[in-house]
Amino acid sequence: MHFKKTILKNGLRVVTAPMKDTQTVTVIVSAGVGSKYETKNINGISHFLEHLFFKGTKKRPKTKDISSALDAVGGEYNAFTGKEQTAYFAKVDARHFDLALDVISDIYLNSKFEEKEIEKERGVILQEINMYEDTPVIQVGDVFEELLYGDQPAGWEIIGTKENIKNLKRSDFLKYLGKNYTAPNTVVCVAGNIEEKEAIGKIENIFSKMSRKNNGGKPKTKENQSKPQIKIKAKKTDQAHLVLGVRAFDMFHPDRFALSVLANILGGTMSSRLFLSVRERLGLAYYISASYESYTDSGYLAVRAGVDTEKSKIGKAVKTIIGEIKKIREKKVSPRELQKAKDNFRGKMALSLESSDDIAGFLAGQELAKKKIESPEEILSRVDKVSADDIMRVARGIFMNDRLNLAMIGPVEGKVFLEKILKV
């Protein structure tokens, strides 16, 4: 993969990735800010602000002026807010690169944030909160992070609270925007069928006047746990949705590659240990998986599953998951299973980097979080070096009672039955 990083005089980072074998181009503009940068009284402002960027600029006064411009050329466009970044992107036929760059830069630099649009969008986001409340398979992840990190930014929901959404003022948005949407805190990435030098010149021309000040960063996530923890959100559902996980490594930790392979072996595929034991052998779940989630200052390995609401079946599923955790901690994985996980990792990476939007997101995300980019080749080289000893060492280090956490949403009363079995 060829890419180039250019830093403008005001500190803005530009990443370009020419791809001659595609007919598309993707423009993504990412700000290094998300819910981890918020205080409690404005929790949710990063996500709310993301919505407001599509509500009109001086050049395109109305929402439909923004959407129509890209719809007219068959473009795909959207935005997302995370714990540590907020991004805006458009993917178009390469002939319309100038249009995509113009629209995305326009909303990023020139949005109006009109009072009437803020008031309308409150209702939209309140309904989005209600949607997540009705989607426990997604919301259980928020319950898990709240259990893990408690009352600090890492433990708050990205979308915020209904009370905050109702009370945020235009002045709050402008203050937050001025602090965080600055040149040193922004990455512009363009991937696709472009002339690299020309693209860099156009980006520099548009973004060169952005503020040079730094945003001051975010508070460091605090880790504090001495025994297994359980959090149940009682809700009438037809499934008990659970996340069983452990505190692990941030995205800079040298063992992150070994943990990625471990997660793949444990529950990354339909032939993984958890899928075969919990679903295929016992028929306890339709969905079950394991994944490693990492941020700049925290991380965890999490097993997700949806099981029957009967306590006996919940208990059996949790016991089975714990059993697989014990096995991978106590017995070395075989050379064949280890190689299969590495090959799967390699194949998934290839599939995830096929298109211009995939590559733009990959490059922008790394540059924003790490201020450096590891190429796919570098990542795969590190994965190839993971040994069975590394897997066991990492498993023994993270799969400990004082790191265990279990979050659940469902019609479950009491947690004593889970406390008795939540141990490794």
Contact 21, 27 (CB under 8 A): no
Domain limits, the chain: 4-207, 229-419
CB distance 176 to 42 below 8 Å: yes
Selection from 199, 179, 175 nearest residue 189 by Cα: 199
**Which backbone phi and psi does 119 adopt, to 5 degrees?**
-65, -40
Place of tokens 């990354």: 268
Q: How many alpha carbons fall within 13 Å on the CB side of residue 180?
A: 25
Q: Of 2, 35, 318, 8, which is closest to residue 188 (Cα–Cα)?
A: 8
Q: Which sequence positions are flagged as catalytic?
A: 50
Q: Are 93 and 148 in contact (CB under 8 A)?
A: no
Q: Which amino acid is at 383?
A: V
Q: What angle do CA 225, 230, 233 make, to 5 degrees?
A: 135
Dihedral sign for Cα atoms in the order 34, 39, 42, 44? positive
Which has the closest alpha carbon to 225: 247, 242, 245? Answer: 247
- 191: burial class by Cβ within 10 Å (0-12, 13-18, 19+)? buried
Phi/psi of residue 218, nearest 5 degrees: -135, 160
Q: How far apart are CA 35 and CA 47, in angstroms?
A: 8
Q: Could you tell me the two tokens for 91?
A: 């993917």
Distance CA(416)–CA(319), nearest Å, equals 14
Are 14 and 5 in contact, with CB atoms under 8 Å apart?
yes
Mind listing the pLDDT tens digit of every residue in the chain (424 residues)? Answer: 899 999 999 999 999 999 999 999 999 999 999 999 999 999 999 999 999 999 999 999 999 999 999 999 999 999 999 999 999 999 999 999 999 999 999 999 999 999 999 999 999 999 999 999 999 999 999 999 999 999 999 999 999 999 999 999 999 999 999 999 999 999 999 999 999 999 999 999 999 999 898 877 899 999 999 999 999 999 999 999 999 999 999 999 999 999 999 999 999 999 999 999 999 999 999 999 999 999 999 999 999 999 999 999 999 999 999 999 999 999 999 999 999 999 999 999 999 999 999 999 999 999 999 999 999 999 999 999 999 999 999 999 999 999 999 999 999 989 999 999 999 9
* Whole-angstrom Cα Rg for the chain: 23
Longest dimension (CA), the chain: 64
What per-residue confidence (pLDDT) applies to 406? Answer: 98
> Which residue is listed with tokens 């696709």?
192
**Domain at 229-419, CATH class:** alpha beta
Q: Which amino acid is located at 344 in the chain?
A: N
d(CA 377, CA 181): 32
Q: What is the pTM of this model?
A: 0.95
CATH topology for 4-207 is Cytochrome Bc1 Complex; Chain A, domain 1 (3.30.830)
